[in-house]
């Protein structure tokens, strides 16, 4: 799927399910959407290529083989710059809107301060998206139409997996620029975020790190990405809910300026498919469901 404009996005997301479940995993790609509402693009002040800088371009495709391996993959079809699913539902910057936000809105988070709330104010190197303020109603409509249905489907899928297997491992899939805008330092190939050990069992994190390292990748944990709202919100290891975030270095698989797959794309996809049996095995052996552990 290439990036495009559309008058409407229906469906707004996809849940790709296997014919038969093979493991208690769910892969999720909330930032890889590349269908841009035409009305949204027309109200921004940025070139389309700049607007795309917050995309996790092709990440959903890189993990697509998980479905054939027997676990579901969920992906947004709309872009992060339009609405960010990896935020609280009402993480909103009052400076962006005409009118008063509802009293339950979180207007003081670090992400809001940085311009990256549920409705983002900036993309890329802090470039302002909108030339003027939006109406509060527009923000609330986006949340009702896109955010809430996505998370409802995510919760239902997690609950279904947990009922079947006794636990669920949510793998939240993202990408990162190949260099840091702060110091131009080259980043690791993968960053695994488990909220410093609080969002999932160490068994899950160690299995991912070991499998990637064995294939020659440079892997670090939690720095600079420890996991966002999805990892924090859905991860509850004591209840059998494990959430981990994986960030891929875009330089491994794409031309970051042209938004095109590079020669490395096929190899990265094959490697991600290749580590799945090791992950499934590690969880099957080491991650006892809470109900079984209590018996």
Angle of helix 276-286 relative to helix 202-214, nearest 10 degrees, comes to 150
What's the predicted TM-score (pTM) here?
0.95
pLDDT of residue 280: 98
Residue 31 neighbours by CB under 8 Å, 6+ apart: 54, 55, 56, 59, 76, 79, 80, 84, 85, 86, 174, 175
Per CATH, the number for 4-294 is 3.40.630.40
Residue pair 91/106 in contact by the 8 Å Cβ criterion: yes
pLDDT at 155 over 60: yes
Mean pLDDT of 167-189: 84
Which carries the bigger pLDDT value, residue 54 or residue 291? Answer: 54
Residue 285 neighbours by CB under 8 Å, 6+ apart: none
The pLDDT mean for the chain works out to 95
pLDDT of residue 139: 97
DSSP 145: I
Domain limits, the chain: 4-294
pLDDT at 184 over 60: no
Percent of the chain with pLDDT over 90: 92
pLDDT of residue 124: 82
What percent helix, strand, coil does the chain show, rounded to 5?
35, 20, 45
pLDDT of residue 231: 98
Distances (CA, A) of 156 to 61, 63, 130, 149, 244: 23, 21, 34, 11, 18
pLDDT at 23 over 90: yes
pLDDT of residue 295: 41
pLDDT at 291 over 60: no
pLDDT at 68 over 80: yes
pLDDT of residue 187: 84
pLDDT of residue 292: 44
Which pLDDT band holds residue 226 (cuts at 50, 70, 90)?
A: very high
Residue 48 neighbours by CB under 8 Å, 6+ apart: 3, 36, 41
Which pLDDT band holds residue 54 (cuts at 50, 70, 90)?
A: very high
Q: How far apart are CA 202 and CA 14, in angstroms?
A: 30
Joined together, the tokens standing for residue 246 give 């994986």
Q: How far apart are CA 126 and CA 148, in angstroms?
A: 27
Joined together, the tokens standing for residue 213 give 């390292």
pLDDT at 90 over 50: yes
pLDDT at 289 over 90: no
Cis peptide before 224 (omega within 30 of 0): yes
Percent of the chain with pLDDT over 70: 95
pLDDT of residue 181: 59
Asked which of 5-19, 77-91, 106-120, 168-182 is least confident by mean pLDDT, the reply is: 168-182
pLDDT at 293 over 50: no
């Amino acid at each position: 799927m290439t990036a495009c404009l559309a008058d409407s996005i229906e469906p707004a997301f996809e849940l790709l399910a296997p014919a038969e479940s093979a493991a208690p995993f769910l892969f999720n790609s909330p930032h890889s959407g590349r269908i841009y509402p035409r009305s949204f693009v027309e109200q921004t002040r940025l070139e389309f290529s700049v607007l795309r800088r917050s995309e996790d371009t092709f990440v959903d495709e890189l993990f697509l083989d998980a479905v054939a391996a027997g676990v579901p993959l969920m992906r947004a079809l709309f872009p992060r710059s339009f609405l960010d699913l990896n935020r609280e539902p009402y993480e909103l910057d009052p400076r962006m809107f005409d009118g008063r936000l509802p009293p339950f809105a979180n207007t003081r988070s670090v992400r809001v301060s940085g311009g990256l709330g549920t409705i983002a104010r900036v993309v890329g190197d802090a470039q302002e998206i909108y030339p003027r303020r939006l109406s509060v109603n527009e923000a609330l409509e986006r949340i009702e139409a896109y955010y809430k249905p996505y998370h409802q489907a995510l919760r239902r899928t997690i609950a279904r997996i947990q009922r079947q297997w006794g636990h669920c491992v949510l793998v939240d899939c993202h990408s990162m620029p190949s260099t840091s805008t702060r110091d131009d330092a080259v980043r690791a190939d993968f960053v695994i975020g488990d909220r410093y050990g609080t969002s999932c069992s160490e068994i899950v994190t160690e299995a991912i790190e070991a499998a990637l390292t064995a294939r020659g990748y440079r892997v670090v944990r939690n720095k600079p990405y420890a996991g966002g709202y999805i990892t924090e919100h859905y991860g509850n290891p004591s209840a059998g809910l494990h959430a981990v975030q994986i960030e891929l270095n875009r330089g491994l698989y794409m031309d970051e300026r042209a938004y095109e797959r590079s020669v490395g794309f096929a190899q990265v996809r094959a490697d991600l498919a290749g580590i799945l049996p090791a992950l499934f095995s590690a969880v099957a052996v080491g991650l006892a469901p809470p109900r079984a552990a209590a018996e």
